[in-house]
Amino acid sequence: MNKLNRELINKRCLEISDSVERLEKIKDSPKEEFLKNRDLQDIASYRLLVAIEAALNMCYHVSARKLKKAPDQYAECFGISG
């Protein structure tokens, strides 16, 4: 039962990709406009959270399935090894 859930991984990759695309559009906004526009800041924050959560979700999934352990803290997620 060590098999990776490819559907879950694909879904998380799409979430990251979509978030990066949205952030790229925001990046093109002038700095002053971004700093004055709370809605734009909220969208950027949300998209960063979505991307981070998707990456962490994949990390925990792969760690649990392949390494039979999960990191204790988020910061350890990408440094864990078998």
Question: Residue 64: what pLDDT?
Answer: 83
Q: Please give the average per-residue pLDDT across 25-50, as a whole number.
A: 96
pLDDT above 80 (res 1): no
pTM here is 0.82
DSSP string of 36-56? H-HHHHHHHHHHHHHHHHHHH
- State yes or no: pLDDT of 41 exceeds 70: yes
Give pLDDT, residue 80: 63
